[in-house]
A and B are shown apart, each in its own frame.
Chain A
Amino acid sequence: MKARTVRGMAGATAAAVIVTGAAACSNPGGGAAAGAGAADSAVVGIATEPESLSPLLGYGKDGNSKIFDGLLAHDAGMKLKPALAESLPEVSADGLTYTYALRRGVKFSDGRPFGAKDVVFTYRTILDAKTNNASKSELDAIADVTARGDEAVVFTLKYPYAPFAERTVLPIAPEHLAGGQDVNSGEFTTKPVGTGPYVLTAWSKGEKLSFKANPTYWGGEPAVKKFTMAVIKDDDVRATRLRSGELDGAVLPPNLAKGFKADKARKTYAAKSFDYRNVTLPTEHPVTGDTAVRRALDIAVDRATMVDKLLEGAGKAAYGPVPTGSPWFAAGTERAHDLAGAEKILDEAGWIPGADGVRAKNGVRAAFPLWYTSGDKLRQDHALAFASDARKAGIQVTTESGSWEVIEPRMRTDAVLAGGGSPADPDFDQYLTLNSALAGDGFNNMARYDNPAVDKALLDGRRSADPAVREAAYDTVQRELVKDPGYVYLTHIDHLYVVADRWDGPSTQTEPHDHGLGTGPWWNVESWKPKRK
């Protein structure tokens, strides 16, 4: 064979490869149809990827994990309903013992039966000091958990804790798999097996999580047979891939979600949330510690404009930790934007405007710094709006940005643009942020708020099982916050999702501050049905 011929053949081969490649490229429908578009599969875009899928390390602790079930679960209205438990727990009269009868005949997706020992294993492992679960303080009330035969589990508590049942939505891990390995780094953290409606088929870290319907799910096999969560960190890329049809749904910031409003084939879902942004008013700072300044700032801020301008209408004005639409909201605690009122309070308290318009009292200038986490556009916008509103009342707020490492040592005396919120029970968020006993404990009660009436109400709220007592307690907290605000609550933020209009079933739950995998219209993907054409 002559050299020329060899070269020619190589050239022909190269050309053939290129042509084949080009042909493959020009047929995007072929592969894509198997994913997005098929009636029994759904692909959604999420912004953050979990570090671990092990419930023992905190995955799915608020319920709605697709792979696992908790003893209880939340329905669309955030009411508790039985899941791995047969019914809601029996609570002893003193509120110290919770007994759960377990559902019979449930199997993990590897075929092994689920039983009381798995529940005991899960809770004991999480509470173990060696387990690196950062959320374990949420289970602080538990003194012990024991199995009663294979049919029931009994929790004994250290103190009466009314919202305890809300904590038992936590997913249950199989002891036979997770028990024999390193809980912090074992294979179970990436290859979980549970009793839930979906089975994890692949997790390509940084790219996607793939699930298939669990054919032996005790609640019935889901109609959406394949479910994929594509991990797309950048908002613009997520919106683009949604538009190109590769995704059936995605979480989007308000400005990008707006572009899909007119789209007939897609629906926009605004999930109401307990996710608030507030400004901490450190009790130990001479300016923010003054009740007059706190009350003035609380009515000097223009919450309605923040909702309109910063959130593009996707949210609500916040007057406290509880959003106005919640049954826990204390009616009558709404405050209108009242600059004149704020000035009057400051005048009467002796904060007199100086030459530059900034007020002062006994030589102390009404000025303080406000920190926000750098890179968080939403917090930055809130901080700037707050500073501008405060300035109109004669209080100078200097905004500064930094990471939590920079902010933490300053939290004692400097204001921080913070966020939080937990919809399941008012105790979860309020006990941590308002209780004087937890002042400066980790990130709890950052403002070091100290109000005996609030402390007492928080205790009443968590100890009593009587709904009327609890409601009165949280009403008290909200009314005290009007008289002596330790925080200026600014907005409650809606989370926006755009989803292809191909199913019956997508809806939204009330969402917490944290965007977990279980939030979004796909919280109940297991009960979606393809729409009849």
Chain B
Amino acid sequence: MARMAGRRTLFAGPVLLVVTFGVFAVAALSPFDPVKAYAGTAGLTASQAGLDQLRANLGVDQPLLARWWEWLTSALTGDLGTSSVMRQPVSDVIAERLGWSALLALCAFAVAVLLGTALGVLAARRQGGRLDRAVSGLAYTLEAAPAFWLGLLAVWFFSVRLGVLPSGGLTDAGSDVVTAGQVARHLVLPALVLGISQLPWFFLYVRHGVADALEEDPVRGARARGLGERRVLLGHGLRSGMLPMLTLIGSRVPELITGALLVETVFSWPGIAAATVQAATSVDFPLLAALTVLATAAVLAGNLLSDLLYGLADPRVGFDG
């Protein structure tokens, strides 16, 4: 197990290296011009000489390889460079935002996994039953519903109609101290929306897995031996039904990141997802590369996690041979 984790970590190095180069290459090929993005509306009245000076200052007239190498060497010494779109060091941008995004994603993930598993087990217990039909129908609908739309719907219902939850921001708009209570209240809607948008995947996998497991011989045997329904369901059904879901956990990480983007936008959540899009459309090389490294690391860690969980849940599965 430790060997697998170690080997994967070693492997992550070259992967990240290739990914950062890919980011620089794709960004260089993209039709977006960093100078225009930097200047914004001011660029529409700036003189050509002014724009040329800006291009030289930003260093974007350098060839691709030189820019990447420069970024890489200074990143390895701990200097992630300066974000041109945020006008501040990349490390500051990430430090300010990453925590909030992680909090949101973790809560949403917990909602999706816990609620999805619980509903999945209940639905699998009586396949075709009223609960199963209702929840399955809802799950297919949610799978098709964009997180953005769900967010607007939640704001309309909980904030405007009922007036029970704040509709956006990290804290009340008028307050500038960040207290745990305020953040918790403001976290409810975005975390629920993001979690619910991920829920169908977990629900459907668990429902299917548990239902299949309940049909298997060991379960029949257990039932025949007179074991309680609860033991059968949780001890046998859930245990093997969970296996496909554990793989899912890792593979949902990228989806969670993209989903977070839309949710962060709707709820003015000061996270990293919105910064990622801004970095991409502004061809902000240093910020984009740093964020891509983070996202890639999250995906690699997600995959490792699901493989580890899989191995723990099913002793028949080895850890990478």
A and B pair up: yes
Structural contact, A514 and B41, CB atoms closer than 8 A: yes
Chain B contacts of A441 at CB under 8 A? Answer: 47-48
Contacts of A32 in B (CB 8 A): 166, 172, 174
A136 to B42, CA, bound (A): 9
B275 → chain A closest CB, angstroms: 7
Are A208's CB and B31's CB within 8 A?
no
**Interface residue A482 (Cβ < 8 Å from any Cβ of B):** no
For the side of the interface on A, what is the size category? 35 or more
Task: Decide: A189 and B88 in contact? CB cutoff 8 A.
Answer: yes
Pair A241/B87 contact, Cβ less than 8 Å: no
- The CA of A140 and the CA of B163, in the complex, are separated in Å by 53
Q: Does A21 contact B (CB under 8 A)?
A: yes
The answer on a CB contact under 8 Å between A35 and B152 is: no
Judge whether B85 is part of the interface by a CB distance below 8 angstroms. Answer: yes
Closest CB in chain A relative to B215 CB, distance in Å: 31
A43 within 8 Å of B by Cβ?
Answer: yes
B128 lies within 8 A of chain A by Cβ: no
Decide if B53 is an interface residue (CB 8 Å cutoff).
yes
Chain A proximity of B271: nearest CB distance (Å): 7
A132 interfacial by beta-carbon distance below 8 Å: yes
Asked if residues B31 and A405 are in contact (CB atoms below 8 Å), the reply is: yes
Residues of B within 8 A of A35 (CB): 172-175
User: How would residues 199 to 210 of chain A score, 1 for a CB under 8 Å from any chain B CB and 0 otherwise?
Assistant: 001101111101
Partner of B169, one of A52, A207, A514: A207
- Residue B46 at the chain A interface, CB threshold 8 Å: yes
| Contact A233:B174 (CB < 8 A) given known A28-B165, A442-B46 | no
Please determine whether A237 and B168 come into contact, CB atoms closer than 8 angstroms: yes
B129 within 8 A of A: no
Closest Cβ neighbor of A422 among chain B residues: B45
Asked whether B47 lies within 8 Å of A226 as measured between CB atoms, the reply is no
Q: How far is the CA of A243 from the CA of B39 in the complex (A)?
A: 34
> Chain A residues with Cβ under 8 A from B155's Cβ?
237, 240-241, 244
- 0/1 string, B147-178, CB within 8 A of A gives 1: 00000100110011001111111111111100
1/0 per residue, CB under 8 A from B, across A388-427: the answer is 0000000000000001111000000000000010000000
Chain B residues near A244 (CB-CB < 8 A)? 155, 159-160, 163, 167
Q: In the complex the two chains form, what is the Cα distance from A433 to B84 in whole Å?
A: 28
The answer to whether B96 touches A132, judged by C-beta atoms less than 8 angstroms apart, is: no
B295 interface contact, C-beta 8 A: no
Of chain A, the residue at the smallest CB distance from B42 is A134
Is A107 interfacial (CB 8 A cutoff)? no
Tell me which residues across on chain B come within 8 A of A189, comparing CB atoms: 87-88
CB of B224 within 8 A of chain A? no
Kindly identify, within residues 227 to 286 of chain B, every residue whose CB is under 8 Å from any CB belonging to chain A.
Answer: 264-266, 268-271, 274-275
Contacts of B49 in A (CB 8 A): 137
Q: What is the bound-complex CA distance between A210 and B42, given in angstroms?
A: 25
Q: Within the complex, what minimum Cβ distance (angstroms) separates A129 from chain B?
A: 6
Q: Which chain B residue lies CB-closest to A246? A: B173
The answer to whether A134 touches B39, judged by C-beta atoms less than 8 angstroms apart, is yes
In A1-37, the 8 Å CB interface with B consists of 21, 24-26, 28, 31-32, 34-36
Please encode chain B, from 6 to 50, with 1 for each CB lying within 8 Å of some chain A CB and 0 for all others: 000000000000000000000000011100101111111111111
Q: In the complex, are the beta carbons of B47 and A444 less than 8 A apart?
A: yes
A236 at the interface (CB under 8 A from B): yes
Question: Cβ of A125 < 8 Å from any Cβ of B?
Answer: no
Given contacts A137-B45, A185-B89, A442-B50, contact A207 B170 (CB under 8 A): yes
- The answer to whether B44 and A420 have CB atoms under 8 Å apart is yes
A207 touches B269 (CB 8 A): yes
Let me know if B167 and A237 touch, CB within 8 A: yes
Given contacts A134-B40, A420-B44, whether A31 and B82 have CB atoms under 8 Å apart is: no
What is the CA–CA distance of A138 and B45 in the complex, to the nearest angstrom?
8
Contact between A185 and B87, CB atoms less than 8 A apart: yes
Give Cα A232 to B265, complex, Å: 8
**A444 cross-chain contacts in B, Cβ below 8 A:** 45, 47
Per a CB cutoff under 8 Å, which of B54, B93, B167, B270 touches A207? B270
State A28–B50 Cα separation when bound (angstroms): 50
Residue of A nearest to B56 (CB): A129
Is A247 close to B, CB under 8 A?
yes
Q: Which of B202-233 contact A (CB under 8 A)?
A: none
Which residue in A24, A41, A184, A231 is a CB contact (below 8 Å) of B82? Answer: A184
Contact B169 A230 (CB under 8 A): yes
Question: Which residues on B sit within 8 Å (CB–CB) of A54?
Answer: 87
CA distance A21 to B181 in the complex (A): 9
A63 CB–B CB distance under 8 Å: no
Contact B40 A230 (CB under 8 A): no
Q: Is the CB of A206 within 8 A of B271?
A: yes
* B292 interfacial contact with A, CB 8 Å: no
Once bound together, how far apart are the Cα atoms of A51 and B31, in whole Å? 22
Bound Cα distance A438, B47 (Å): 8
Given A21-B184, A137-B46, A208-B268, verify A228-B174 contact (CB < 8 Å): yes
| B167 proximity list for chain A (CB < 8 A) | 237, 240-241, 244, 246
State the CA gap A51–B42 with chains docked (Å).
12
Complex: how many Å from CA A171 to CA B79?
Answer: 32
Within 8 A of B (CB), among A194-250: 201-202, 204-208, 210, 226, 228, 230-234, 236-237, 240-241, 243-244, 246-247
The residues of B that contact A205 with a CB separation of less than 8 Å are 86, 93, 96-97, 270, 275
Asked whether any CB of chain B lies closer than 8 Å to the CB of A486, the reply is: no
Among A52, A57, A443, contact of B44 (Cβ-Cβ < 8 Å):
A443
Q: How far is the CA of A505 from the CA of B85 in the complex (A)?
A: 35
State A444–B48 Cα separation when bound (angstroms): 9
Which residues from B are CB-within-8-Å of A25? Answer: 164-165, 185, 188
With A and B bound together, what is the CA distance between A52 and B83 in angstroms? 12
> CB < 8 Å: which of A26, A135, A187, A210 contacts B176?
A210
Complex contact B87–A134 (CB within 8 A): no
The answer to the question of A190 belonging to the interface, with a C-beta cut-off of 8 Å to chain B, is: yes
B266 vs chain A, min Cβ distance (A): 6
Chain A neighbourhood of B182, CB < 8 A: 31
Asked if A336 CB lies within 8 Å of chain B CBs, one says no
CB neighbours (8 Å) of A241 from chain B are: 155, 159, 167-168
| Nearest-CB residue, chain A, relative to B152 | A236
Nearest CB of chain A from residue B232's CB, rounded to whole Å: 21
B58 within 8 A of A: yes
Given contacts A28-B163, A185-B82, A432-B45, contact A208 B173 (CB under 8 A): yes
Check B51 for interface membership: any CB of A closer than 8 A: yes
Contacts of A202 in B (CB 8 A): 176
Q: Which residues of the partner chain B approach A520 to less than 8 Å between Cβ atoms?
A: none
Q: Which of A26, A206, A228, A443 contacts B45 (CB 8 A)?
A: A443
Q: Is the CB of A134 within 8 A of B173?
A: no
Among B152, B166, B184, which residue has its beta carbon within 8 angstroms of that of A246? B166
Inter-subunit contact B46/A134 (CB<8 Å): yes
A38 to B174, CA, bound (A): 9
Once the chains bind, are A442 and B88 in contact (CB under 8 Å)? no
- The 5 A-B pairs of least Cβ separation, nearest first, read A35-B174, A134-B39, A134-B42, A210-B176, A207-B270
Seed contacts A134-B50, A244-B163, A247-B173; 16 additional CB < 8 Å A-B pairs: A25-B185, A26-B164, A35-B175, A54-B87, A134-B42, A134-B54, A206-B97, A207-B169, A207-B269, A240-B155, A243-B160, A246-B173, A420-B44, A420-B45, A432-B45, A442-B44
A-B contact pairs, 17 of them (CB 8 A): A32-B174, A35-B175, A51-B86, A52-B87, A135-B46, A189-B87, A202-B176, A204-B270, A205-B86, A205-B96, A240-B152, A240-B159, A246-B167, A405-B32, A432-B45, A442-B47, A443-B44
Residues of B within 8 A of A (CB): 31-33, 36, 38-51, 53-54, 57-58, 82-89, 92-93, 96-97, 152, 155-156, 159-160, 163-176, 181-182, 184-185, 188, 264-266, 268-271, 274-275
